[in-house]
Structure 1
Amino acid sequence: MLDKMRNIGIMAHIDAGKTTTTERILFYTGKIHKIGEIDDGQATMDWMAQEQDRGITIQSAATTTYWKNFQINIIDTPGHVDFTAEVERSLRVLDGAVAVLCAVGGVQPQTETVWHQADRYKVPRICFVNKMDRIGADFFAVLKDVHEKFGVEVMPVQIPIGASDSFEGVIDLIAMKEIHWDAATEGEKYEYAEIAQDRLALAEEWREKMLDTISSTSDEITELILEGKDVPEELIKKEIRKAVLNQNYIPFLCGSARKNIGVQPLIDAVVDFLPAPDEVLPAEAFNPKKEEKLSVPCKVEGAPLGLVFKIQYDKDAGSLCYVRMYSGKIKSGDQVFNTGKKKRERVNRILRMHSNKSEQMDSVQAGDIAVFIGLKISQTGDTLGAEGQPLLLESMQFPEPVISVSVEPKSLSESDRLKEVLEILSKEDPTFTSREDSETGQLIISGMGELHIDVLTRRMLDDFKVEARVGNPQVTYRESITTEKTQTEKYSKQLGGKDNEAELTLTVRPLERGSGNRFVSKVKTFQKSGSGGTNALPEELLEAVKRSIEGCFSSGIKVGYPCTDIEVELVSVKYNELTATPFAYEAAAAKCFDDACSAADPVLLEPVMAVDIMSPKEFVGDAMSQITQRGGLISSMDSKASTDIVHAQAPMAKMFGFSTDLRSATQGRASFTMSFSHFEIKR
């Protein structure tokens, strides 16, 4: 069964046409009966009202479809940089990916971002060059662009017949046939034909290049070529599949999803070239009891092991937890063990999702993706397994939010509802956070950019019908330290006739930018009933210290912004069994942290953004001037046929309103993308 399953993601830069491509895949595999166009707001995968209004994909919708006895689980991912968390989540659980590239734009800034994310998770991929019908489409220029930008071996298995207005089909270099699609049936009918005489020489040239690339990793094909024998189609496909799994090179296909050309061979390529769940590297897990790493093979017979990779809120069912199963089987009604939280949960129902529709399942097994209903405490990144065999899968890392707005309820009665909704939204999206300002009492929400915040506040107001006022966007700063300091704190207080005492020593030290925060301990632990000797604490008291320090990281040093790039080391403790309490150790740790950091030359850090501006050549000077006026530094430039791409870095605080100014300076012809780069000391 596993060999008949594919878990794939469709990834691309915004506007490369990946949602349209997904719609066509669903249409031709029979899952939908009418093609939804993204421009008219009917796309199946873009089911959130805002996605239909904006024509972009915000949340990765999961859907299952079938093609030639194969089950394909598809995750449609957003191409906008503000939604990188969605892309990151999807790539974490995929076995293979289809990178959709625009035949005109080639490699665009967000293509680079998702490509590098896919590299990090070692996701095998194939490429589909879309929009071959557009003016300026150039399949071969895109091949060159990918090869130069990413340093990968590219290998077309098709070449286009014509381009722009004259684009009419593709030449299949494996079968050495032309493929033409019937417009009257919306491309559902297509036929193979002999290659036209005037196109044969080009097809033979590219087939030779393809076989040359394949033979570099296949002795069998090399022998056949040297002996002058025909190379069978099935052998070519088998060898390409092997090379894709090993990521030796990347097969390229082409078409126009909007014109219904090239999609069925793309689905064939997913089945032929991308891996089954048991063909990729086994999942890496950690056994917290034995403190050892181990590989978990994808087998139905193994102990159950799954990863919660996404949570969506449903007004009737509550939390929908998207789970990728790596081992074993979980049935509806089973109890599962959340390893990280050390708690049991019951799976009330299991669903197979099709965008925002669903069908009930009795069970889900290794390799598959499904939705669990009934989980109350599980969050994105949590591992579900068997209580007797606790394993932790590597959790997901998400970037820090960089932009904030204040929200306040219009009436007191709305206050609790607002907090409840913000909790739901932050559970769904780990890059969206909310906190209460300790000085003003205002609720502050933070996200990855203006569009991200706008989408989430619109959901809060429109979907959840919360009546609230939303402030103007503000930059989210961070606090850090620049020198190392060691501090000792004694705490002693009598509460309710009981002594509460603690004494500890902390060292705080700055870490490299981008390291995040870290808590380490030199103190040994022991069970409460035993004795740990000198410089030792019961486990629950060490947990209290850790909890307190994590709270301090959130509440800041001087100004109240969250801390970053600080290591806190618990150096030593004095423990009195009669008077030591968790409360005393929490209080001592918090005071010690504040005093140590205040003496360690604290600084305010501001977010610096990576800005990529796409501009026609005649306006590139005006575009560059717009970014430098905002204190931006230009790091490099790429030049394409009619467009220049300017890569720069600029402080987030200066980038509000940049979109309007850039449009007016370039007559509306330049566009840009912006994503968080790093924090640096505020100028």
Structure 2
Amino acid sequence: MQTLNLGIFAHVDAGKTSLTERLLLSAGVIDELGSVDAGSTRTDTMALERQRGITIRSAVVSFVVAGVTVNLIDTPGHPDFIAEVERALGVLDGAVLVVSAVEGVQAQTRVLARTLRRLGIPTLIFVNKVDRAGADLGRVLGQIGDRLTSAAVALGRVLAAGTPAARWAPFAPDDPDHRARLVDLLTTHDDALLAAYVANERAVTPARLRAALATWTGRARVHPVHAGSAITGAGVDDLIAAIAELLPAGEGDDDAPLSGTVFKVERGPAGEKIAYARIFAGTVRVRDRIRYRGGHDARITGIDVYDGGAPVPRDLAGSGRIVRLRGLTDVRVGDPLGVAPDRPAGRHHFAPPTLETVVVPERAADRPALHAALAQLAEQDPLINLRQDDLRQEIAVSLYGEVQKEVIQATLADDHGLPVSFRETTTVCVERPVGVGAAVEWIGREPNPFLGTVGLRVEPGPLGSGVEFRLGIELGSIPLAFLKAIEETVRETLRQGLRGWEVIDCVVTLTHGGYWARQSHSHGVFDKSMSSTAGDLRNLTPLVLMAALSRAGTRVHEPVHRFRLDLPADLFGTVLPALARLDAVPHTSTLRGAAYLIEGEVPAGRVHALEQRLPSLTRGEGTLESEFDHYRPVRGPEPSRPRWDHDPLNRKEYLLAVARRVTARPDR
């Protein structure tokens, strides 16, 4: 049986989880429709999700339609949990983008649509809530064409919109207006179809148009639009038929070498790790020993596959499947299984978090338990970027927004019995090199106390390139383990630059490397004092790297969001000064009837304040969309962040700390 891995995406409250429930009911997987308000849905399993009525963690369910097993991944709609969405994107064959017929295209809808289009994921659009007062399919179709894609085409109309009797009426195959719209859209992509239409219009039959629609939907060039109501079930059966007909099932070879990727990690009842993975090729079996991140390997002790809506134990699973694996004790989100696939789940499609806060336990004795609990949360969401400051006994996490902070607080209290508070949320800046700097320390020469030579050059890299490590020495001149130790330490050290922020967009070149080979006395006893180890290179690298970085110099950059603000025209003059006070810079303003559209940029740290002030500024009529756009140099004094380790820029303090660390290790 073929498998289709399908993602459901939407702005929060567009009805995505309710649609998932309706799909399961229509497919015969469940006997009763769950309710988000009542907390009885199949995919919102966390207590917090049921209490708040929002999806926080992605969930997998399945159903069968037309001989195809559909693994449906329900993802969060709130932008604070975009990391969950990101991980799902790497394992999908297709998607359904849900838009509210009342609220229309919203901020997160635009972000999701752009990402799906950029990744080439075949996507159907479902306009939900047609039974609600204010539903207007024509208006929403206009917004879809204007704000999401010009390649969308409605496959029917809504009758009795805005009433409980609203229903979806598919266009007849020979409907002349619908046929004309399909021909116009499809012939822009299909030269053979255009030639056939020009030669003989009647030769392009409804069946041929439908086949072309399936082809170009499967190639993510065309996006069919359906509409209906997840609550009443209107239009859902037609959507299910379209999913089976228009979205391509996954392809793979069960006999090929194993290739998969982990997109979610959770803990089981006994605290064991459970890895959710997509198998792209090959077959995984219980008791197989499989390789994953960095050469790790482990034996699979259990496999679940999705069948009839729920995970069931199996001895094996083939390509195309979503599986739950046990036995991978130190697995992480994004880890490849076997041969790395072309689209790993760890690849970043959205901006990283731009905020951070310090988590403070209400009871000082809870600090070790707090770190352990946050470490478990970081397994599920690596982008919270858990950071422990041993010097100040503080633990910091990265955030997308205030709602995510509230969820972390509630999770720690409810699941771990740890009441916590938070320090003020601050903006996460970055540093970029502004010049070229180099430094070297030689083995056996003062002031280098380590048995190794390391020389590094730091220079600016292209925007968005992260950290690139290059070899400027001959490969093989030092052991591979030593090279790996230097590169790993370079990347770790650059998490804190001259002012404490992560250093990005730079190239680090190893210009010198040396060591003393293993030495022993005449009676064959190994002499540690005369033999270099990887630890010598690890301890020396931060001193050399920070010296080179100091000579290169860095500039602190702050994250900036692009915003789009719709507001009543009569408030335009009032809102502009308020935007200026929040350091928002409008770039364009366009009058559209009785409304103004303002587009511009605002520092990430001021977005929350703008969201809070917007209702009072616009009589509750303004709508704001914002998303990370770029980093810009900080204007005025550059902010700094306290270091959470011993500072290599303070040589005496650093060497004392290393000496204490080495002395504490019995193997050194």
Scaled to the shorter chain, the TM-score interval is 0.7 to 0.9
User: What letter is aligned with 1:381?
Assistant: G
User: What letter is aligned with 2:274?
Assistant: L
Answer yes or no: is the 8 Å Cα contact 1:491–1:588 preserved in 2.
no
Structure 1 residues 234-313: aligned runs within 5 Å: 234-278=207-251, 298-313=252-267
Answering whether residue 518 of structure 2 is matched by residue 574 of structure 1, we say no
Per-residue CA deviations over 1:382-406 (Å, capped at 9, x if unaligned) read 1112xxxx54544423343321111
Answering whether residue 664 of structure 2 is matched by residue 664 of structure 1, we say no
Query: Which residue is 1:551 aligned to?
Result: 492
Query: Which residue is 1:139 aligned to?
Result: 137
TM-score by length of 1: 0.83
Give the distance between the partners of 1:540 and 1:446, measured in 2 at CA: 32
Answering whether residue 141 of structure 2 is matched by residue 130 of structure 1, we say no
Query: Which residue is 1:537 aligned to?
Result: 478
RMSD (CA atoms): 3.0
Answering whether residue 356 of structure 2 is matched by residue 404 of structure 1, we say yes
Tell me, which stretches of 5 or more residues in structure 1 are unaligned? 177-202, 279-297, 527-535
Query: Which residue is 1:186 aligned to?
Result: none
Structure 1 residues 89-488: aligned runs within 5 Å: 89-165=87-163, 168-175=166-173, 203-214=175-186, 217=190, 219=192, 234-278=207-251, 298-316=252-270, 318-338=272-292, 340-352=293-305, 358-385=311-338, 390-391=339-340, 393-395=342-344, 396-398=346-348, 399-437=351-389, 439-488=391-440
State, as a whole percentage, how many aligned pairs show the same letter.
Answer: 26
Give the distance between the partners of 1:429 and 1:635, measured in 2 at CA: 35
User: What letter is aligned with 2:324?
Assistant: V
Query: Which residue is 1:652 aligned to?
Result: 604
Answer yes or no: is the 8 Å Cα contact 2:588–2:599 preserved in 1.
yes
User: What letter is aligned with 1:127?
Assistant: I
Query: Which residue is 2:468 aligned to?
Result: 518
Structure number with the higher strand fraction is 1
Give the distance between the partners of 1:416 and 1:563, measured in 2 at CA: 29
2:163 alignment partner, SS class: helix
- Kindly state the Cα deviation for residue 622 of structure 1 after the two structures are TM-superposed: 4.6
Give the distance between the partners of 2:630 and 2:308, measured in 1 at CA: 35
1:525 alignment partner, SS class: coil
1:599 alignment partner, SS class: helix
- Kindly state the Cα deviation for residue 614 of structure 1 after the two structures are TM-superposed: 4.8
- Kindly state the Cα deviation for residue 299 of structure 1 after the two structures are TM-superposed: 0.9
User: How has the CA–CA distance of structure 1 residues 135 and 409 changed in structure 2, closer, same or farther, with 3 Å as cutoff?
Assistant: closer
Give the distance between the partners of 2:570 and 2:77, measured in 1 at CA: 27
1:568 alignment partner, SS class: strand
Answer yes or no: is the 8 Å Cα contact 1:174–1:233 preserved in 2.
no
Answering whether residue 41 of structure 2 is matched by residue 43 of structure 1, we say yes
Answer yes or no: is the 8 Å Cα contact 1:437–1:443 preserved in 2.
yes
2:240 alignment partner, SS class: helix
Give the distance between the partners of 1:639 and 1:250, measured in 2 at CA: 30
User: What letter is aligned with 1:310?
Assistant: K
Answer yes or no: is the 8 Å Cα contact 2:120–2:219 preserved in 1.
no
Answer yes or no: is the 8 Å Cα contact 1:308–1:324 preserved in 2.
yes
- Kindly state the Cα deviation for residue 47 of structure 1 after the two structures are TM-superposed: 2.1
User: How has the CA–CA distance of structure 1 residues 210 and 603 changed in structure 2, closer, same or farther, with 3 Å as cutoff?
Assistant: closer
Answer yes or no: is the 8 Å Cα contact 1:491–1:587 preserved in 2.
no
Query: Which residue is 1:21 aligned to?
Result: 19
User: How has the CA–CA distance of structure 1 residues 238 and 34 changed in structure 2, closer, same or farther, with 3 Å as cutoff?
Assistant: same
Answering whether residue 32 of structure 2 is matched by residue 59 of structure 1, we say no
How many residue pairs get aligned? The number is 618
Answer yes or no: is the 8 Å Cα contact 2:81–2:404 preserved in 1.
yes
Query: Which residue is 1:562 aligned to?
Result: 502
1:268 alignment partner, SS class: helix
User: How has the CA–CA distance of structure 1 residues 640 and 85 changed in structure 2, closer, same or farther, with 3 Å as cutoff?
Assistant: farther
- Kindly state the Cα deviation for residue 605 of structure 1 after the two structures are TM-superposed: 2.4
Give the distance between the partners of 2:594 and 2:25, measured in 1 at CA: 35
Per-residue CA deviations over 1:525-545 (Å, capped at 9, x if unaligned) read 33xxxxxxxxx2110111111
Give the distance between the partners of 1:341 and 1:225, measured in 2 at CA: 57
Answer yes or no: is the 8 Å Cα contact 2:355–2:401 preserved in 1.
yes
Give the distance between the partners of 2:304 and 2:592, measured in 1 at CA: 46
User: How has the CA–CA distance of structure 1 residues 47 and 675 changed in structure 2, closer, same or farther, with 3 Å as cutoff?
Assistant: farther
Give the distance between the partners of 2:631 and 2:426, measured in 1 at CA: 15
Answer yes or no: is the 8 Å Cα contact 1:383–1:393 preserved in 2.
no
User: How has the CA–CA distance of structure 1 residues 81 and 53 changed in structure 2, closer, same or farther, with 3 Å as cutoff?
Assistant: same
Answer yes or no: is the 8 Å Cα contact 2:167–2:228 preserved in 1.
yes
Answer yes or no: is the 8 Å Cα contact 1:476–1:606 preserved in 2.
yes
Per-residue CA deviations over 1:364-419 (Å, capped at 9, x if unaligned) read 1101111112211221111112xxxx545444233433211112334454222211
Give the distance between the partners of 1:582 and 1:264, measured in 2 at CA: 62
User: What letter is aligned with 1:670?
Assistant: G
Per-residue CA deviations over 1:125-156 (Å, capped at 9, x if unaligned) read 11112222344433233333333334532222
Give the distance between the partners of 2:70 and 2:515, measured in 1 at CA: 58
Give the distance between the partners of 2:129 and 2:221, measured in 1 at CA: 27
- Kindly state the Cα deviation for residue 506 of structure 1 after the two structures are TM-superposed: 1.0
Task: Name which of structure 1's ranges 578-587 and 368-377 shifts more when overlaid on structure 2.
Answer: 578-587
Answer yes or no: is the 8 Å Cα contact 2:29–2:309 preserved in 1.
no
Query: Which residue is 1:627 aligned to?
Result: 579
User: How has the CA–CA distance of structure 1 residues 515 and 220 changed in structure 2, closer, same or farther, with 3 Å as cutoff?
Assistant: closer
User: What letter is aligned with 2:178?
Assistant: W
Answer yes or no: is the 8 Å Cα contact 2:117–2:220 preserved in 1.
no
Answer yes or no: is the 8 Å Cα contact 1:513–1:565 preserved in 2.
yes
Give the distance between the partners of 1:247 and 1:352, measured in 2 at CA: 28
User: What letter is aligned with 2:47?
Assistant: A
User: How has the CA–CA distance of structure 1 residues 221 and 254 changed in structure 2, closer, same or farther, with 3 Å as cutoff?
Assistant: farther
Answer yes or no: is the 8 Å Cα contact 1:330–1:363 preserved in 2.
yes
- Kindly state the Cα deviation for residue 273 of structure 1 after the two structures are TM-superposed: 0.3
Per-residue CA deviations over 1:154-184 (Å, capped at 9, x if unaligned) read 22221222432386323222556xxxxxxxx
Answer yes or no: is the 8 Å Cα contact 2:289–2:298 preserved in 1.
yes
User: What letter is aligned with 2:177?
Assistant: E
- Kindly state the Cα deviation for residue 504 of structure 1 after the two structures are TM-superposed: 2.3
User: How has the CA–CA distance of structure 1 residues 170 and 409 changed in structure 2, closer, same or farther, with 3 Å as cutoff?
Assistant: closer
- Kindly state the Cα deviation for residue 516 of structure 1 after the two structures are TM-superposed: 1.9
User: How has the CA–CA distance of structure 1 residues 655 and 355 changed in structure 2, closer, same or farther, with 3 Å as cutoff?
Assistant: farther
